[in-house]
A and B are shown apart, each in its own frame.
Chain A
Amino acid sequence: MKAVLSLALITFKEGIRNRSLFGIALVALFLFGLNISVAGFFMRDIGKVTVDMNLSALTIAGLLLVFFVGINLMAKDIDRKTIHLVLSKPLSRAQYIWGKYLGIQFFVTVSLLLLAGCSSLTVLLLKSMYPAYFGGFSWLIFFVAVAFVLVKFWVLGAVVIFFSSLTTSSLITLIFSLGAYLAGVTIEEVVFYLKTEMAAQEQLISESLKNFIEAITWILPNFAAFDFSLEAAHGLALDSGRLLGVLSYGVLYSVILLLLASLIFSRREFN
């Protein structure tokens, strides 16, 4: 356990030394600034627009963090062959996977929490500028939505680790993870759309397509499940059962991927 944590700490330190962090922070700050300047163009729902833009900015920043920094943290060892050095230490390959995952997640979480602080300041500023248009806004629901943006990136981190354990180059990991993310974030809409289409024209849909869709929902992570931006934007009540369900879904999906990654990585040969 100690070995895992110290590897996580090293990975975290390596992450925060990355220069692209400044770029990502700038992007996020730009989006928050854009929010402030755009909010006045709307008529009534300025609170909704603010929450939408803040949560989207956090998601975009998180994606950049995972894809530009996170993937490198994992793949650099393999790309540069320093993995041989690391694995010569008293550290099993499974421990290596978990240590790297925790390090990347620690790094992504700390960075996103800092950005979430900036985001809250933006919301606070706009709320004081347009107090009459923040009727339904609730800080609690906003923070819950932010927390689930984090959960989403814990799952995405596990996806990255999984593909890193399979592939030999960071570019392929990037392509696979990006593909998995885009598919995961849209899969829900596609599944429900097809289901309503199926209901509308029952006889035309083949059994195999039905099975295929069913299989997809088990394999791909449903990233839309972690999205509480609609609730945060309009201050709609949150069901604690739903929060718990989504949280356990995210945790279990990540754990399964990490265990698979540990297994694959343990049997892998490096040359």
Chain B
Amino acid sequence: MRWYWPVPGLFLALVLYVLVVPGVWNQREQVRSEIPAGYIIPSKFSRILAFGHQGVLSDYLFLKTATFIGGRSSAGQPMTEEDWEYVVRSLDVITDLDPYFADPYVLATGLLAWEANKPQEANRLLQKGIDHREWDWRLSFYKGFNLFYFLQDYATAAEYIMKAAQMPGSSAYLATLGARLAYYGGQSRTALFFLQEMLEDASDPMMQQRLLKRRQALEHAVLIEDALDLFRTREGRTPELTELVESGLLDELPPDPYGGEWFIQPNGRVFSTSKFADMK
């Protein structure tokens, strides 16, 4: 059988191709992890450039943003301030393209308020959702919670939570939540109620994993706060955290899954130096 030159040529080219491709992908991975943050076209232009496919463009940009955050966390890199600003801008564009899209609001409240320390930005985005998704009690609930827990604006918070409680489909416990919020104040237990609701919402594994980790951190904080309360009623003073173990109220200080050190805030809430975000 006679060999034609294209056959060995093709073979050679295929071998070279197999050698080159992984390199290209590795380089891309490297490049992507080094990119400070993407540029996002402002919505007044992207609405035009979508050529009638605004819905799909918003879906795509959402996936891109979620992948960006996921990429940072799987590469073990903390999100910088610049990264968070990119996320805020992206979520803004996504919700301009389709203001009824629920997922960006869930992402905004789950990450911007909790991890980026930007509850105001989260609430600004949530308000856009509240204005459009008039039937969705969760958005008012999230906003109310952010006001309560992060911004300590109890009066406005109660307004939003009550508004959420009156909407169809809202969880039965919402109606009594206001009272419970008032009782527990800014304690970690409040956040646990809220997280449970968020967890039911999040089907995405990346989001779920983050929320589960945070729930664990909060459960540990609640454990310490309970022991702290007990100590206070017994001894009439606020102890050092180590005293809780020494007095036998805790077997040991439960670890912060984010790797921080626990401390007692002036308002009595137990918090961690990690601020419940992966340590840099």
Contact = CB atoms under 8 A, between A and B. Distances in A.
Given A42-B62, A42-B204, A236 B106 contact: no
B247 interface: no
Contacts, number: 79
A229 B48 contact: no
Contact of B107 (A43, A182, A186, A224): A43
A182 B44 contact: no
Contact of B207 (A38, A43, A193, A234): A43
Name the residue among A56, A130, A185 with the largest chain B CB count within 10 angstroms.
A56
B103 A56 contact: no
B47 A56 contact: no
Interface string A201-230: 000000000000000000000011001011
A150 interface: no
A42 B59 contact: yes
A44 B52 contact: no
A45 B101 contact: yes
A45 B102 contact: yes
A186 B54 CA distance: 11
A155 to B, nearest CB: 13
Contacts of B53: 56, 59
B63 interface: yes
B52 A43 contact: no
A104 interface: no
Interface string B31-48: 000000000000010011
Contact of B102 (A44, A229, A230): A44
Contacts of A236: 100
Nearest to B135: A136
A52 B55 contact: yes
A189 B51 CA distance: 10
Name the residue among B52, B100, B106 with the largest chain A CB count within 10 angstroms.
B52
A186 B106 CA distance: 30
Interface residues of B, number: 29
A52 B51 CA distance: 14
A189 B48 contact: yes
Nearest to A51: B55
A41 interface: yes
B253 interface: no
Interface in B203-221: 203-204, 207
A52 B100 contact: no
Contacts of B51: 182, 185-186
Contact of A43 (B44, B58, B202): B202
Contact of B55 (A40, A44, A55, A133): A55
B98 interface: yes
Interface in B140-177: none
Interface in A161-195: 182, 185-186, 189-190, 193
B97 to A, nearest CB: 10
Given A43-B107, A45-B102, 12 more contacts: A42-B62, A43-B207, A48-B59, A48-B100, A52-B59, A53-B59, A55-B55, A56-B55, A56-B56, A59-B52, A230-B54, A230-B100
Interface of A: 38, 40-45, 48-49, 51-53, 55-56, 59, 130, 133, 136, 182, 185-186, 189-190, 193, 223-224, 227, 229-230, 233-234, 236
16 contacts: A41-B63, A41-B66, A43-B201, A44-B102, A44-B201, A45-B102, A48-B98, A51-B55, A52-B55, A59-B53, A130-B203, A186-B48, A193-B44, A223-B52, A227-B52, A230-B100
